Amino acid sequence: MNRLYSCLKNSKYPTRTTTFQLFGSPISQARYLTVMPSAKESGSGIKVLMLHGYTQNGPLFHAKTRAMEKHLQKAFPGISLSYPTGPLQLRPRDVPGFDPTSSEDPDSVEAYGWWRRSNTSDPPEYVALEDGLETIAKVLEEEGPFDGVIGFSQGAAMAAMVASLLEGEPRRKAFEQAKSQSPLAIAYPKSFERLSHPPLKFCAAYCGFRAPGERYRGFFEDPRIQTPTIHFIGSLDSVVDETRTQALVDATGGVERTQVVMHPGGHFVPSGKQYLDTIAAFIKQQMSSQDARNDQEERAEDMDVPF
């Protein structure tokens, strides 16, 4: 067969996870995912937060995901994508592959991150993570409410953490419990304590990973992240180790089934039509599920109570 398709339950992933390997196959063949909506279906009002990877910035991530943006705009007319830039401007030595002998001014490097990993601590610590969360909290407050979040690499890790933080009181209690179990565990971030924003309807993580160790347990455990999440993983990704990605997959799995899409590439956001169809179908699925729940709640409120 010239077009290979397989949908399988992979023993590497938890039983609540469905793994899709889409190598040139039409999304209409995939179980658990709806077919991409037509351009006639309205996406007016859908707002998506787009979080860039380490050493990138908002405009660069926008340029790299232009194909996705166009595809989603066609699928959901009126959809709005927001591309903030992380607050941490990186030093030349923080940027992989930077040539110090280059004639380029080191101070002109437009490379940013949401935090900087410190390997001098055990377990590793994410320096300036609170600054990154505060930047995102400000975007949520000023531009929200958002329906979902899409992130790449470090941005995918951040996307999962943001989705987690917006899950309400159960997540606050998870942080309290983690703090009671380990003095290293961080408290619920102050920038989100004062934020009023509803839970996200979906999260998409491209080449994501889980923050390691006891410090960040509150984001991921007791309970796991409940926001419906789709993971895109490159089989040739040499930047993010598979065990780190697996840890994030294991930490997601709410009421809706966690979905994992494998692609035969490396550390990037795949722009092939089948993968664009997949993300559009996932968003459609989650938005439709939320609309159905809202309709049920409205009908329940309108019912005559016989007492």
70-79, 174-183, 253-262 — which is least confidently predicted? 253-262
Total-model pTM? 0.82
Give the range of the structural domain holding residue 182, as residue numbers without chain letter. Answer: 4-96+105-291
Q: Which residues of 149-184 are buried (b: 16+ CB within 10 A; e: fewer)?
A: bbbbbbbbbbbbbbbbbbbeeebbebbeebbeeeeb
3-state DSSP assignment of residue 82: strand
Percent of the chain with pLDDT over 90: 68
pLDDT at 124: 87
Whether 230 and 275 have beta carbons less than 8 Å apart is answered as no
Q: Read off the pLDDT band of 227 (50, 70, 90).
A: very high
Strongest mean pLDDT among 21-25, 168-172, 255-259: 168-172
CA dihedral 27→30→32→33, nearest 10 degrees, is 0
Secondary structure string (H, E, C) spanning 146-205 = CCEEEEECHHHHHHHHHHHHCCCHHHHHHHHHHHHHCCCCCCCCHHHHCCCCCCCCEEEE
Give domain status of residue 271, yes or no: yes
pLDDT, residue 45, reads 87
CATH number at residue 206: 3.40.50.1820
Kindly list the distances between the CA atom of residue 285 and the CA atoms of 35, 113, 189, 202, 258, in Å, as whole numbers in the listed order.
9, 31, 31, 10, 13
Please state, rounded to an integer, the average pLDDT across all residues of the chain.
83
CB-facing half-sphere around the CA of 285: CA atoms within 13 A: 23
Q: Provide the 10 A C-beta neighbour count for residue 258.
A: 25
Lowest mean pLDDT among 88-102, 121-135, 256-270: 88-102
Structure confidence by residue, pLDDT tens digits, 38-96: 333 455 689 999 999 999 999 999 999 999 999 999 999 999 999 999 999 998 777 66
- What are the catalytic residues? 153, 237, 267
Q: Which of 133, 248, 215, 222 is nearest to 170 (CA)?
A: 222
Contact 185/82 with Cβ under 8 angstroms?
Answer: no
Q: Is residue 40 part of a domain?
A: yes
- Pairing mode of beta strands 258-263, 125-127: unpaired
Q: Is 303 among the domain residues?
A: no
> Is 301 contained in some domain?
no
Residue 306 within a domain: no
Residue 134 CB coordination number (10 Å): 16
Percent of the chain with pLDDT over 70: 74
What confidence category does residue 1 fall into, taking pLDDT thresholds of 50, 70 and 90? very low
d(CA 286, CA 228): 7
Is the residue at 253 inside a domain?
Answer: yes
Which residues, in sequence order, are CB contacts of 126 under 8 Å at separation 6+?
Answer: 115, 116, 117, 118, 211, 215, 216
Mean pLDDT of 184-202: 97
CA distance 191 to 110: 26
- Lowest-confidence region among 92-96, 98-102, 275-279: 98-102
pLDDT value at position 5?
A: 30
- The total of structural domains in the chain comes to 1
- Position 302 in a domain: no
Given this model, what pLDDT does residue 266 score?
Answer: 97
Residue 307 lies in a domain: no
d(CA 147, CA 264) in angstroms, rounded, equals 29
